[in-house]
C-alpha cells in the first residue's frame, strides 16, 4: 500500500492507494517545516489520520510539501512519517512544486505555478525542475497568493481604506479584534501565513465588489511582474497552475496572463488526483 500526499501550508491532501488500485482520499492539516517541527507533525497525524487506515500495511510514502526547500527541511517531515508508519520501507519527501509539475505536465516540459496559501513557480523538463525564480515567502514575496491577498486586505482594513461596508463585513465575518490583537496574531502566534491566507475567501465571497476584483488583479499582476516575466522565453509556455487561489480566481488569472501574451493551459484546485495517477502508472 502506498500513501501519496500533497502538503500545503494549510491542508494536506492524501490518497491511500491499495495494491489492488483502490483509492481512498482524506485530509489533514498542512505540515510546512518552516512552521512546524517533527513532534508537532507526529501529534497531528496521530490525531487526524483516519482510524480505518492500516498504518502497519503502508510500505511506501511519497510526500510533496510546501516549505520542503532543503534536505534538512525534508527530514523534519520524513522523521515524523517514519515514526507514524514504522513499516514503510520507502519514505520520499520533496517539494510541492515537483508535485504540481508532475500533476499538470506528467512527463512533458513546461511552466508550472502554485497559487495557494503561498506562491511558487518553475520550468520543468519532464523529469526535474530546471529553473525556479524564488518567491521569497510571505514576508518578502509570494505575490498572487492567499497570504498576499490577505495582507492587502488587512492593511487596508487597519488603515481605514476599505470601501464602505467592506470593513464591517470583514470585522464581522472574521471576528477581528483591535489593531493590537491583529498584530499579535501576526507577529507572536503560530502560522501567520495561514492566518493571512484565510482572508482570500473574503475576496472570493465579495468578488462582485470592484475593490475585491481589483486587488486580485493587482496580486496576479505582481505575480507576473516579479516572477513569471523573469523566466526565459516565458511566452513560449502555457500557464499551468495548481492551488485554490489560482483556481478560484482563474478568470482574473487568465486575464492577466493573456495581457502578457501567455496562453493558459491547465488550472487545477488540487494536484492529488493527477499525482496519484502519475504514481499508479509506475513511472
Question: How do 264-268 and 110-115 pair as beta strands?
Answer: unpaired
Domain residue spans of the chain: 2-96
The domain 2-96 is placed in CATH, from the list 3.50.50.60, 3.40.718.10, 3.30.420.40, 3.10.450.50, at 3.30.420.40
Segment 168-189, tens digit of pLDDT: 999 998 888 889 989 988 898 8
pTM of structure: 0.81
Q: Quote the crossing angle between the two packed helices 71-84 and 38-48, to the nearest 10°.
A: 40
Segment 74-115, tens digit of pLDDT: 999 999 999 999 999 999 999 889 999 999 998 899 999 999
Per the document, the length of the chain is 283
Question: How do 119-124 and 110-115 pair as beta strands?
Answer: antiparallel
CA 263/CA 254 separation, integer angstroms: 8
Cα dihedral value 258, 260, 264, 267, nearest 10: -110
CA 265/CA 253 separation, integer angstroms: 12
CA 149/CA 117 separation, integer angstroms: 10
DSSP state of 128: S
- Mean pLDDT (10-residue bins), the chain, 283 residues: 86 88 90 90 93 90 89 94 93 91 92 93 94 90 94 93 90 89 88 88 92 96 97 95 94 96 93 86 61
CA angle 167, 142, 233 (to 5 degrees): 130
Amino acid at each position: 500500500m502506498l500513501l501519496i500526499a500533497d502538503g500545503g501550508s494549510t491542508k494536506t491532501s492524501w490518497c491511500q492507494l491499495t495494491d489492488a488500485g483502490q483509492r481512498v482520499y482524506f485530509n489533514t492539516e498542512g505540515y510546512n517545516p518552516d512552521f512546524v517541527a517533527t513532534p508537532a507533525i507526529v501529534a497531528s497525524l496521530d490525531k487526524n489520520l483516519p482510524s480505518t487506515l492500516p498504518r502497519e500495511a503502508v510500505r511506501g510514502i511519497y510526500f510533496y510539501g510546501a516549505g520542503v526547500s532543503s534536505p534538512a527541511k525534508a527530514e523534519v517531515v520524513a522523521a515524523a512519517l517514519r515514526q507514524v508508519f514504522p513499516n514503510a520501507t520507502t519514505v520520499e519527501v520533496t517539494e510541492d512544486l515537483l508535485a504540481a509539475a508532475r500533476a499538470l505536465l506528467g512527463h512533458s516540459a513546461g511552466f508550472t505555478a502554485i497559487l495557494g496559501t503561498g506562491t511558487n513557480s518553475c520550468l520543468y523538463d519532464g523529469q526535474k525542475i530546471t529553473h525556479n525564480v524564488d518567491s521569497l515567502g510571505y514576508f518578502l514575496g509570494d505575490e498572487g497568493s492567499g497570504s498576499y491577498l490577505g495582507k492587502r486586505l488587512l492593511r487596508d482594513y487597519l488603515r481605514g481604506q476599505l470601501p464602505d461596508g467592506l470593513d464591517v463585513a470583514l470585522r464581522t465575518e472574521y471576528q477581528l479584534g483591535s489593531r493590537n490583537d491583529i498584530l499579535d496574531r501576526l507577529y507572536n502566534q503560530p502560522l501567520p501565513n495561514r492566518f493571512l491566507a484565510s482572508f482570500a475567501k473574503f475576496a472570493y465571497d465579495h468578488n462582485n465588489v470592484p475593490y475585491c476584483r481589483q486587488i486580485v488583479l493587482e496580486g496576479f499582476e505582481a505575480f507576473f511582474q516579479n516572477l513569471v516575466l523573469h523566466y526565459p522565453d516565458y511566452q513560449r509556455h502555457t500557464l499551468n497552475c495548481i492551488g485554490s487561489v489560482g483556481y478560484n480566481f482563474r478568470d482574473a488569472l487568465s486575464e492577466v496572463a493573456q495581457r502578457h501574451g501567455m496562453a493558459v493551459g491547465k488550472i487545477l484546485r488540487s494536484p492529488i488526483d493527477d499525482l496519484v495517477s502519475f504514481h499508479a502508472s509506475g513511472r
